[in-house]
Every structure is written in C-alpha cells, then in structure tokens.
Structure 1
Amino acid sequence: MRLITCSNSAPAYPAPTDTVLRTGAAGGLVPHLLALLRDGGDWLFPVRGRDEPRWPDRIGPVRLRPVPVDETDRRAHYETISVELLLWLFHYLHDTVAEPAFDARLGRAWAAYRRVNAAVADRVPAAADPDALVLVNDYHLMLVPGMLSGRPRVVYAHQVPWCEPDYFGLLPAAVRREILGSLLACHSVVFHSTRWADAFVRCCERYLPGVTRTGETIEHPGGRTRVVAVPLPVDAAAVRALTTADRTGAWRTELDRMADGRRALVRVDRLDLWKNHLRGFAAYDELLRRRPGLADDVWLLAVVARPRHRTPRHLAYESACRAAVARLNETWRRPKGPDPVTLLDATDPADTRHRAIAALSTADVVLINPTYDGFNLVAKEAALASETSRILLSRTAGAHDYLAPLVTSLDPCDVDATATAMQAALDRPVALPDPPSARRLRTAIGADTSADWLAAVLGTPRTGTAGRDVHPTN
C-alpha cells in the first residue's frame, strides 16, 4: 500500500549526503511518520517558498514534496490560526473575556489558513493510484481532507485534544462547518483517546445536520466516516537504545551528581501552556510544608524544552515558572545545601532525548500533570525507561485512558491532592511489584509499532495488543 502523508512537521533538514530521513524532534509525530514511511511513500509539508529548491526529490524510498507557501500566509496559517486559535481552543486556553474575536484580522488569517491547506492538497499526487492512503496529520491541515474530494482512502489523525461542543462553539458557524465537514470527508478520523473521539462526534451531532452515530461509524449526508481512538505508539527499540547510549550514560552520571544522594521527582516536557508546571511546583511546595524534612531527601527535576513558536503568553509562562523555582529554592534550600528544585533547559537539540531518557530512567517518581494533553508519549517512555519509578498522570491526558493500570491518577488542578499523591508515591516501597495488569501493559507498550497503529486505524488489526484505547476511563 502506497502511503502519502501530509503534515506541518517535517523531517530534519537533509544534508547533501543523507540516504535516510532523520528526525529533528525529540519525539512525537515525526518519528512516527518516519516509521510509517520506512518502506517508502510521499511526504508533503509546507515550507517557505525560497526553501523549496534546497530539498532533494527523495531520500531513500521516500519522495519529499515540500509545498512552497507565501511567507505572510505561512505565518498567519501557523502562528495566528494553528497556534493562537486552534491549539488554544483544543486545550481550553482562550480567555473568553476577550478572545477569540473574529474581526477582519482573524478573517484574513483564516483565509491564509485555507490557502495553505489548499496548497498542500494541490500537491497530493493525482489519483493515478486510487488505492494509495493519504494520511493527513493534525490541526494545521484540517481543511485538506475536504479538498481531496473523491479520494476513497483519506485518514485524518488528530494529535491534540478535541474540545466539547460548547467550547468548539467559540468558532463562527461557517468555520465550524468548514472544519467538521472537511474531516467527515475522510474514511477515518483517529484520536489518541476515546474522550477526544467522543467530543468530536458530539460536535458533529451539534453543528452539522443529518449526523448520526452507530458504534465507531458516523453517518452523514456525504456518506460514512469511522471515528476511532488508537493511541500513538512509542518507538520502544529507540527508547531502549537511548537508555544504554553513551550520551545518556553521561547525562545519568551528571544527574546523579546533581541529585547528591537524594531521590528524584522528575518531570519531562515542553514549556507549553497546558503542561501545568506551576501547579506541579505548588504541589511540591505543599508537600514540603507538610514534611519539611523531605527537602533534604527529594529533588524535583524539571527537564524542559521550549516550544517551537513562543508567543507572549509562552514567554510570560516561562518567566512565571522560573520565578516559582527561584521562590522554592529560596524557601527550602538548606545552608550550603543543593537546590531542592532544578529547571534543566535544553541546550543542544541533538541531546534532548538522551537527557530526557536519562532523567526518566533515574526517576523515583515521574510527574505528568497537564491540564489537557492529546496523548503524552513521555508517560509511555517513562514506563519503558524504568520499571521501578512511579508515574503520576493527569486524568485529562489522553494517555491516561490507556495507561490506567500503571499510573496514579491526578486531577490536574487539585494541588493538595497532587501533593498527597507525590507523598504516597515516595512512601511506596521500591520493591513492591507491579500488578499483573500493569506488567502486561508494559509488555504491550514495548511490542507496539507504528504499523500496528495504522492497521488499527484502518480496521485491520495486527498482532500488537496496544493498538487500541483498551482502558477507557472518565
């Protein structure tokens, strides 16, 4: 089966001598697409017009199809619509006192978003190969499926949460219909969690006429669309290789030095607005207020990376995080003692994954407390990197539905309860074995592949057991 994938993300910029595609990301979508394209296919992604000629026609079995777009359109498509409207919408981040406001400026930006989507759709190879599968990825390209009318095999994969109908209603009626109508042109729409899939279906039922649901199928005036929840796999082989890599070992040695004999409470994430660092820091502060002696025994390590697009809100959030860490260290640092909290920045992007896996593999407790998350692959990586660390995970992360047997559940806004969960995890004996359901899940995580994911999306499951959302919770 020929695969044609469309994404806003791209492989690492190729060197002239490259014979295989490389990832420039620490994890997530790009490595997943690289795995899917291992046997060949086409990869479409928007680029600045002046960059297109510098991309080779293909690397290995993959044909690269960079899509040149006007720089003004590119910024409006990505920054104004994809990030500041849609990404914040799906994560419930709009301050509805003032935003969004669909005025002339936002109207022009929406037109640019439509033009970029049309440019990508126009580059999809002609229907000379009608059996090819077109995989469209994420909120940057939600109008592409509707522009590929007549292609029988189009799948849209949504990598972030989907919001409930009332919040989706912040968008104007015409925009709502354009997005939903486009996605229902797909053969399948896939999410990481049943909660996001159900929210999408409820939006379709609320805002489009003639929509009914039967199991995984939505029937609508244009036909039928499957809506499924299939968690994104983690590259278990890559995680295992990273765990034993020399650079990871060097980081582990450095982290052991910084820990200075203390147990490690670790978080690994970008400084995104929904990752909820501030409440995590507040919970640690509350824990130390209850048990001040833990300041000498438990080190909070926050391994962070900066988002690709840093809005003024991101800059203010980063500043608030740094101020919170400074206050904690000022309050709880013992004379001549080490800092109780460390905010460890990414310095070398090529080193990001080594540093992250080193932190996860040495953690006694891993804190993952986003307010909302489409999935959160760090939770899966934590399960593979160490079989003894305890994982604290928000109920509102998409990964929670799947990883429930392995984790302690958090309500992300409940600081007191998060502090209690931290304390219980730290007090749990290290030698206490996982229950059988958790052991089976660790095995499934290690066996799952991107090929299993695609088979489950298409309704042709393979042998992998982690290919569906098998532990739905509310």
Structure 2
Amino acid sequence: MVSEHVAQVLVASNRGPVSYSVRDDGALDAKRGGGGLVSGLSAIGPDTDAVWVCAALGDGDREAVRRTGGRLDVADTGGQRVRMLDIAPEVYADAYNGVANSTLWFVHHLLYQTPLEPAFGPEFRAQWASYEAYNRAFAEALADEAAEGAAVLVQDYHLALVPGMLRALRPDLRIGHFSHTPWAPVDYFRLLPDDIARQLLRGILGADRAAFLTQRWAGAFTACCTELLGGTGNTRIGVHGLGADADFLRERAHRPDVGERMTALREQIGTEAGGAARKTIVRVDRTELSKNIVRGLLSYRQLLAERPEWHGRVVHVAFAYPSRQDLPVYRDYTAEVQRVADGINEEFGTDGWLPVVLHVKDDFARSLAAYRLADVALVNPIRDGMNLVAKEIPVVSDDGCALVLSREAGAYEELGEDALVVNPYDVSATAAALHEALTMPVPERAERSKRLAEAATALPPARWFLDQLTALRELPV
C-alpha cells in the first residue's frame, strides 16, 4: 500500500533531526539536532518533496510517535517532514547495541581484542535477527513513502541491509548508501561469520551507488566485495569527503556564550610565572574507544616527563564527552580517561598549574571556546571515518593552530600535508610531535593553519549532500 505522502527525496538514518522528552506536565519537548544531513536537506529547497525516516530512540520519541502516528509536526522539525519509526525497544536494543555498536563499529574501527573477542554464538544470532527486523522496518517505511523513481539516501552501518531490502520492494527507486565510518580491510572484515559478512555486502550492493568518506574506505569495501562476492556488480562506488561548515562555525564561535566560556577557560589555564599566556593543546572527543584519548594523555605525560621546560608553560585542555554509557566497555574507558588525567595532575601539577583541564560534560559553546584558544590540536584516533574536529579547529582558531593528526583518521587524506602526522599507537612519536607543534614558529603555524582551514571547508555539508543526490540522479537508467 503506497502512502499518500509520496516523496521525491528520502533520507534514512538511525537518528533523526529531532528528539523528544516528556515534561512533568505530560507535554512533549522537541530538541532539534544539526549536522550534515540537516544542512543537506535544507539545501534542496522547500519545493522539493522530501521525507526523513528515522527511529524512535527513547521513551520521549516513542510517545511522540504514539501521539502523531509517526509523522512528526513540522513545527518541531524545522519544517522538514519526518517519519519516525517506533521499533520494539528490545528489537532496537539488540540491533543498535548488540550488532551496530558492539559488532559492526568494532569491526570497522579494528577494536577487538582478538584473543578473547568476538565470539559469535546463539546470542549474536538472536541479535542479528533483530538487526534484520530493524532494517526491514526502514525498508518498508521508505517503500511506503517514496514516489515513483524517487531518490533514497540511506545512511551508515546501522542500515547496511536496507538498500537490498528496499530494492526488492521498490525496484523503481534510485538508492544510495553512505558509510560514515571507515570500512574494515578484508582480513579483519572476515572476523564476521561468513554468511553475515556476505549479507552485509549484498545489502549495500542493493544500492545503485555506495559512497564513502575517503578513497581508502571505498577501496577496502571494494576489496571485501571482490574477495567474498567476486565483485561489486552494478553498484557504482563514490567518495565524498564531508567538510566543515565554515560560515556556521565562525558565526557561532563569536556569540556571547562562547566568549564567556573563553574567559572561564583562560582562568583555568592560567598564566606562566612571568604573566605570559600558557600554550594550549586542545582535544574535543566523545569517549569512544576509537578516539584514542588515553594514548593521547599518555603522550602528553611523556612530553612533560622528558621535557621539563614545559612545566608550568602548557596546559592540555581535554574534552571527553561520555558516549554509549549503556555499554560497560565504554563506562570502563571513560573511567580510565579520568584516572590517567588525574594521575598526570597529581604527578606534575603545582599550586599554580593544572597540567590537564578535563571536562566530561558536553558543552558545544565551551568546545568552540577551546577551538579558538588552541595553539595545538591533538586528533589521534585509532581509526576514524573522517573526524570533523580536525577540520573545525583550524577554521575557528583565533591565532592559527598546529594540528597533530593520526594517519588513521579519514581527514588525513585532505589535511595530512599541513599536519604533523602520527601513528596513533606510538605514544613516544606523538609526544615528539606535540613538542614540535608547541615550538613551531608562529608564521609557519599561521600559514599551515590557513591551508588546513581551506582544505577543511572544501566540501561543506550542504554541497556534500547535494553532490551525492546529483550523482545518484544522473546514473543511467
């Protein structure tokens, strides 16, 4: 049965552009999100009939679906038509936590401790059945909403099976899939059970076009398809390196609340004995295992241990915002970040100098304040699809910053030439890169930062989205 709400452009993602909470009086509070998809859908213009399909993530979202039938009030969504799916909580939990975040995320970011994990037994197979059901719910909703020949842009590893399922339901549609994560190399991808590895690949190959953030990740996907399936079939492969939204960032970074946070951070950072401003090494991450925060702190500790000339002259401003705290391994990692930071402060700190300023409560204005103050940006992930922080800090930094960047971040492809590139596992080399960054002559730092900002903003979110849409629509029938 085809919906009366037929759309020409559809986006599917786990998280939508709005989330809900229930107030004490029973009313719903809507909170809008941001990001590339929001910018992209806004860029196609109000005359294009578009629908965003997403999942209800919590009790507030489910209550909103109950009250609206799943088609949300455009007053809550900023004018976008959104269909929110109330997938059974136990099915959603298995699909999201059991498969997407505890399996696929770990595979693509190479995070398993392989002597002990993974171990794919009956529990995982039950979770996989939920992942299939979750993907099927999206495919059916998209089939219901889409006009004849519509363009559908499916997002990320949560929805890897959707393109194949949707192709079976609606062969008339133009279907694209975009992977926001890295893609695992063949040998690591084959940690997955053989049938499930093939099912994932065939799911994405149900799309007319599969796209990735870098050529490296696209090549890894193609290699997996060649090894396990004999090729990619008729699916085209594309690369779209998401960039920073310079206009938004620069405007937002100069609002009064950011200025207030800068004043507070300067007080925490303090000054040298002679009154000069201390140097700042800034990192802003969620406490995901892939972000490599602990090794970053250990590198800073080694810098202080080996180069006492920096005592009292530098502060590491580290924002580590909790992520996925419903998973024990993430709670343990967050605790380890706090433990290592506290240890550095106990070992090296003095009455007038706190070597690490660690914040764990998410505050976007404070992050922007740190961006503006940064002398050095430390971005050292074990593996990252892109890493927008690496792109955002050079855009916002007031005086230009040196970027210490992991070669395993997708951003390395675009920023590596002007960054100080490190192996994320090499704590000693990262400590040496931090010293080099801190001692970089000001003119060189400013020139590098300018080039970094230009590269970082080459493909802003709206264009990133529209380029994919255009490429999908221009494929031969």
> Which TM-score bucket, shorter chain as reference?
0.7 to 0.9
Q: 1:249 aligns with which of 259, 262, 265?
A: 259
Asked if 1:330 is matched to 2:346, the reply is yes
Please tell me whether the aligned partners of residues 138 and 160 of structure 1 are also in contact (alpha carbons under 8 angstroms): yes
**Are 2:213 and 2:241, in contact at CA under 8 Å, matched by a contact in 1?**
yes
Matches of 2:382 and 2:146, distance apart in 1: 45
Q: What are the residue-to-residue correspondences of 1:258-407 with 2, within 5 Å?
A: 258-261=268-271, 262-334=278-350, 336-346=351-361, 349=362, 352-386=363-397, 388-407=400-419
The match for 2:118 is: 100
Matched-pair contact (CA < 8 Å) for 2:11–2:155: yes
In structure 1, the residue matched to 2:461 is 450
User: Cα distance 1:440–1:324, how it changes in 2: closer, same or farther (>3 A)?
Assistant: closer
CA pair 234-2 structure 1, distance change in 2 beyond 3 A:
farther
Cross-structure match for 2:27? none
Correspondence for 2:147: 129
Q: What per-residue deviation string (whole Å, max 9, x for no partner) do you get for residues 402-427 of structure 1?
A: 11233111110111111111001111
Q: TM-score, normalised by structure 1?
A: 0.87
Paired letter, 2:364:
R
Q: 2:381 corresponds to which letter in structure 1?
A: P
1:412-450: per-residue Cα shift (whole Å, max 9, x none)?
A: 0111111111001111122336558x7455335446333
Partner of 1:44: 53
> 2:51 touches 2:82 (CA, 8 Å); kept in 1?
yes
Which of these residues, 428, 432, 443, is aligned with residue 416 of structure 1?
428
1:13 is matched by which residue type in structure 2? S
Q: Distance in 2 between matches of 1:368 and 1:177?
A: 33
Structure 2 CA distance for aligned equivalents of residues 71 and 410 of structure 1: 42
Q: CA deviation at 1:52?
A: 1.2
Q: Which of 216, 225, 237 matches 2:235?
A: 225
Deviations 1:260-308 (A, max 9, x none): 1211111010111111111111111111122113121000110121114
Aligned residues: 439
- What CA RMSD, in Å, does the superposition of the two structures yield over aligned residues? 2.5
Q: Partners in 2 of 1:390 and 1:440 — Cα distance?
A: 11
TM-score of the two chains, using structure 2 as the length reference:
0.86
* Equivalent residue, structure 1, for 2:25: none
Which of residues 191, 195, 198 in structure 2 aligns to 1:170? Answer: 191
Separation in 1, partners of 2:148, 2:65: 27
Moved over 6 A (4+): none
- Is the contact between residue 288 and residue 295 of structure 1 (CA under 8 Å) also seen in structure 2? yes
How much does 1:206 deviate? Answer: 0.6
In structure 1, which of residues 1, 6, 12 is the aligned counterpart of residue 12 of structure 2? 6
Question: What is the one-letter code of the residue matched to 2:10?
Answer: I
Residue identity opposite 1:281 in structure 2: L
Q: Is the 8 A contact 1:3 1:37 kept in 2?
A: no
- 8 Å contact from structure 1 (residues 76, 112) kept in 2: yes
How much identity, in percent, do the aligned residues show?
32
1:193 and 1:401 in contact (8 A); partners too: yes
Q: Gapped runs of 5+ residues in structure 1?
A: 212-217, 462-474
Q: Which SS does the other structure have where 2:311 is aligned?
A: helix
Shift of 1:333: 1.1
Cα distance in 2 for partners of 1:85, 1:353 equals: 29
Change (3 A) 1:136 1:153: same
Quick one: distance in 2 between partners of 1:183 and 1:322? 39
Structure 2: gaps of 5 or more residues: 1-6, 23-29, 272-277, 473-477
* Pair 1:285–1:230, CA change in 2 (3 A): same
